[in-house]
Amino acid sequence: MKLRGRFTLTLALAALVPIAIAAVVTRQVIAASYRSDYEDRRRTAEAAVRGEVERLLADVEQADKALAAHDHPLVGRLLLALAKQSTGRLDYTAARELEEQSGPTMRGLSLDVLSITDKTDRVLCSPHAHGKIGESNHPEVRERAQNGPGKAYFVREDITKELEPQTVLVAEASRIAQDGVYAVAVAAGRRVTEDLLGVRTSRSDAQIVASTGEVLIAPANKDWAALSHDRIEIPLAGPDGTPVATIEVAVSDGDMARVLRNITLTSAALALVALVGVVLIGLLVARRTARDLDQLVAGSLAAARGDLDHRVPVRSADEIGAVAAAFNFMMEDLRVSKERLVIAERIAAWQEIARRLAHEIKNPLTPIQMAMDTLRKTWKKKHPSFDEILEESTATVMEEADRLKHIVSEFSAFARMPKPGFQRLDLNELVRSALALYQGGAAPVEITLFEQLPQIDADKNQLSQVVLNLVENARDAISGRDDGRITVSTRLGEAGDRAMLIVEDNGPGVPGDLKDKVFAPYFTTKHAKGGTGLGLAIVHRIVSDHGGRIAVADVPGGGARFAIELPLRNGTALLTSRI
């Protein structure tokens, strides 16, 4: 992973960890607080509902007790009317009066159910359900009054309002009202309404479910199912004690869940924002740092390429800035040192060249001096063979003069070698063209070319001279051998960024101590054969001018191998790779 990534990741982790820890701790603390509050609210809600139930039952018992009193206007007059009837049944007027007064009486006591039956269990009064008036066979009112007089219970009753029938849950109490021998059973009831569920707030809700499973009063909250996982059940006992319905109270822990969820979400959002911020900051910082480092890297590469004028900008006074300043200082020092070195090398090279040139020039001067000295001596002695000697001496002088002339012209050519004129050319074609003259000769040149080799930027004439010089050098190496063999090949460098030209022979090869000298001007092992020692030096010079490299190595089994690497494009000099 690059420095930029590592830096950003480290910063992100450093930001996330404390946020996560803070979120978890906060969540736990708030959850504990809410749980405690939730339990309190549950207890409060249950107590409130039970209190409402008790109050409702007490109210109904009180109302029934008041109704069943023999001096109550309704029941008292009813008992009086019954007493007046010899048949034990109400006459029309009394029945009508009872019917008229029962409704207001029922409503006046805030009741919803009022049933009065006579001793034959015939319904005398039922303002809540007119359809029952006059019906026989209703012993339940009397039985309830006898079994638990005045004690309220819950029961489901049919009531009719505006011709609409409905079965509702009522809290009811029954008593026997008696005046002498005349008695009626009086049941008074109040409908169980939502008022009983006063706990229904935004944080708690309740419903009433019949023993049959029917929901009698639905919860107000639409998502009852979500908040009712832990319900408080309060049974509503019927006349025989068995529950006819149950109040289910649910206190919402939705707030807790919601707050905790919000904390989690907020933490996550904060973490996300922090993460994004940290990543952005990290990227900026890393980018700046990496940019400075990248510039140092680029500077190093430039230095490696020999561009000692390259400098990196110094943007800060921190360590990176110090490194950049030190780099620049180093580059400046290297540049100065290199210039000095170049000057020294140039002086040394010219001294060497002058020494070698002087040596080369000195060699022909000796025969010339000796020829001229012999000629002068023989002329003084009037040697009879003076003419012959003159002829030989002048011939020697002329020969050596020609030799000097050749040396000077070669030197001049080496010294005046122009800069390459680059053009795109096919190296394979150049090799084939340059070696055409060698095909079919005594020592044929074997050519192995890499056909997919891309074109390169090169000076055609100079590169042809390189090929010819190396091949001529190889021919000299294998001269005198019947199995002499020269191989010229091309191929693409492993990185695909350079072309390679390789010339091999199976001659005696280059001794190890001479491998560093063969490219030096005027170094030759072929003085006897008229070598000037400038062939490989010219090759080295041309290759260098093309931004390439040349190396000499031994061929296994004997022979020398000259390998040239040339960049495919001008200006991309090869620096590090070596064969």
Partner 1 sequence: MKSRTTELRHGGLRNVSPGPVEARLMRPGEVRCVRPVHCVRPVRPVRPGRVARPLRAAALGLALCAGALAHAESRPRYGGIVEASLLGAPVALDPIAAQASADVTVVGLVFDTLYTIGPDGTVQPHLALGPPVLDPARQTAHIALRRGVVFHDATPMTASDVADSLERVRTKIAWLLAPVTGVRTSGDGVDLVLRAPGADLATLLALPETAITKRGQAPAAGRPIGTGPFSVASVDPAHKKLVLKAFDDHFAGRPYLDRLVLDWFDTPDGEARRFETGATQLSARGVAAFAGAAPKYPASEVEGPAALLLFVGFGKRHPQITGDRRFRRAFDLALDRGAIATITTGEHTLPTRLPVPIEAASTTLEAAARAGDASQAQLVLGDAAKHNAALAPGSLAGMKLSIIVEDTRPDDREIALRVARGLDKLGIGFTIEAVPADKLRQRVQGGDCDLWIGQLTAPITVTAAWWGKAFAADNDGWAEAQLAAGPIDAALAEQAFAERLPIVPLMFRSLLIWYRSDVHGLGFDALGRPGLADLYWWKIRP
Which stretches of the chain bind partner 1, using CB under 8 A?
92-93, 95-97, 99-101, 122-123, 129-137, 158, 160, 163-165
> CA–CA separation, 390 vs 398, rounded Å?
12
For the CA atoms of 305, 307, 313, 318, the dihedral, rounded to the nearest 10 degrees, stands at 60
State which residue, 168 or 510, has the beta carbon closest to partner 1.
Answer: 168
State which residue, 77 or 203, has the beta carbon closest to partner 1.
Answer: 77
CA-nearest of 368, 367, 366, 392 to 378 is 392
- Nearest approach, Cβ of 165 to partner 1 (angstroms)? 6
> CA–CA separation, 45 vs 51, rounded Å?
10
- Nearest approach, Cβ of 69 to partner 1 (angstroms)? 21
AA identity, residue 568: L
- Nearest approach, Cβ of 87 to partner 1 (angstroms)? 11
- Nearest approach, Cβ of 128 to partner 1 (angstroms)? 11
> CA–CA separation, 173 vs 184, rounded Å?
14
- Nearest approach, Cβ of 168 to partner 1 (angstroms)? 14
- Nearest approach, Cβ of 207 to partner 1 (angstroms)? 22
State which residue, 101 or 193, has the beta carbon closest to partner 1.
Answer: 101
> CA–CA separation, 46 vs 487, rounded Å?
106
* Separation in Å, CA 52 to CA 55, 56, 113, 562: 5, 6, 19, 111
State which residue, 165 or 313, has the beta carbon closest to partner 1.
Answer: 165
> CA–CA separation, 197 vs 45, rounded Å?
9
State which residue, 102 or 207, has the beta carbon closest to partner 1.
Answer: 102
State which residue, 143 or 476, has the beta carbon closest to partner 1.
Answer: 143
> CA–CA separation, 142 vs 148, rounded Å?
10
Q: Would you say 571 and 519 are in contact if contact means Cβ atoms under 8 Å apart?
A: no
Paired tokens of 281: 């900051």
State which residue, 12 or 79, has the beta carbon closest to partner 1.
Answer: 79
Paired tokens of 343: 């000057």
**DSSP string over 92-118:** HHHHHHHHHHHHHHHHHTT-SEEEEE-
- Nearest approach, Cβ of 77 to partner 1 (angstroms)? 10
